[in-house]
Amino acid sequence: MAFSLHFQQLFHSPTTFPSQPKPPTTLLTPLKLPPTPSLPLLAIAQNASLSNIDSTEKVVLPLQLKREMMPKHVAVIMDGNRRWAKMRGFPVALGYEAGIRAVRKLIELCGNWGIGVLTLFAFSSDNWLRPKVEVDLLMGLFERVLKDELEKFARAGIRISIIGDTSMLPKSLQELIDKAVKTTKENSQLHVVVAVNYSGQYDVVQACQTIAQKVKDGIIEPGDISSFLVEQELQTNCTDFPCPDLLIRTSGELRLSNFLLWQLAYAELFFSHSHWPDFGEAEFLEALCSFQQRQRRYGRQGS
């Protein structure tokens, strides 16, 4: 069975939300897209498979995208769930439910389009400052997603990893995380890395602590410390491509909010006006088209 079919079938979500016209706001105005026929009409099977996908499987891309220019690692700050809900007069919980629907859709698209790693910023270490009821709501949602979807993730060949300090999470969630990580650790179709109680600054600090200990123990010399060595100690070292090629942040905010600070050094940034629950295929395609138009120079002279 083709890889794309796996994902479409496994992640079809029946979730519906009360219909209500979108409020007229500039934040919700979609950006201008190149004309986008529906995926089945324009999709072509590009026969060569990507290295992180089983060679018997096909990656099906929309015509606008070039296979050889696809990012290997996409990171996302899923902002605007509460605003999405408030603008519709819905409870905050519904905003997060809609956010989870968008997560499912993005996982499906990354799987179908041959992206190797997807890192999602689900809970920042600063988010503990939110009202307890909201923190509890988010923790409950994470638990529910892991309980309900683990089998589907595992069957679709998805590997799940968590970055961040999980020791502060509810014990029941920690157990579900351990199970998800263990159950999926041999999977290689798509690596979904979820940042929970994550701080980019702390990630660098903990890497420094580990390296300092190695110096103290005489394992390495201070002069051995390099970018390569630091990167090896960062939590994203759990993936084959620790540094995202593309960072997407939704809902119009133009900041990094302490996410993957080291790892984003050379990432291309894409800021979407859509709130996270409205971020779907058209919006992702727009981000990828923008990415493929960038000239990535990594500090070198341009042509």
Longest Cα–Cα distance of the chain, Å, equals 65
Q: Which of 6, 50, 71, 81: binder of ligand FPP (CB under 6 A)?
A: 81
Per CB under 6 A, does 96 bind ligand FPP?
A: yes
Per CB under 6 A, does 180 bind ligand FPP?
A: no
CB of 160 to ligand FPP, least distance (A): 10
Q: Please give the residues from 234 up to 253 whose contact with ligand FPP meets the rule CB under 6 A.
A: 251
Q: Which residue is nearest to ligand FPP (CB)?
A: 99
Nearest residue to 72 (alpha-carbon basis) of 191, 245, 291: 245
Mark residues 277-296: x for contact with ligand FPP by CB under 6 A, - for none.
Answer: --------------------
Q: Which of 72, 76, 79, 153: binder of ligand FPP (CB under 6 A)?
A: 79
Cα-flanking dihedrals φ and ψ of residue 123, to 5°?
-160, 115
Dist CA 16 CA 120 (whole Å)? 23
Whichever of 162 and 243 has its CB closer to ligand FPP, that residue is 162
Per CB under 6 A, does 60 bind ligand FPP?
A: no
Per CB under 6 A, does 99 bind ligand FPP?
A: yes
Per CB under 6 A, does 109 bind ligand FPP?
A: no
Q: Write the DSSP assignment of 96-156 as a string of letters.
A: HHHHHHHHHHHHHHHHHTT--EEEEEEEEGGGGGS-HHHHHHHHHHHHHHHHHHHHHHHHT
* Candidate list 54, 79, 165, 203, residue with the active-site label: 79
Q: Are 190 and 111 in contact (CB under 8 A)?
A: yes
Per CB under 6 A, does 194 bind ligand FPP?
A: yes
Query: Is there a catalytic annotation at residue 79?
Result: yes
- At 212 the three-state DSSP class reads helix
Q: Which of 6, 82, 101, 249: binder of ligand FPP (CB under 6 A)?
A: 82
Q: Which of 50, 53, 70, 103: binder of ligand FPP (CB under 6 A)?
A: 103
Mark residues 120-149: x for contact with ligand FPP by CB under 6 A, - for none.
Answer: x-xx---x-------------xx--x----
Q: Which of 4, 61, 73, 80: binder of ligand FPP (CB under 6 A)?
A: 80
Task: Count Cα neighbours of 11 within 13 Å in the Cβ-side half-sphere.
Answer: 25
Q: Write the DSSP assignment of 146-197 as a string of letters.
A: HHHHHHHHHHTTEEEEEES-GGGS-HHHHHHHHHHHHHHTT--SEEEEEEEE
User: Considering CB under 6 A, how many residues would be counted as binding ligand FPP?
Assistant: 20
Task: Count Cα neighbours of 187 within 13 Å in the Cβ-side half-sphere.
Answer: 26
Tokens of 254: 């133009």
Q: Are 291 and 268 in contact (CB under 8 A)?
A: yes
As annotated, the active-site residues are 79
Residue numbers of the site for ligand FPP (CB under 6 A)?
78-83, 96, 99-100, 103, 120, 122-123, 127, 141-142, 145, 194, 251, 276
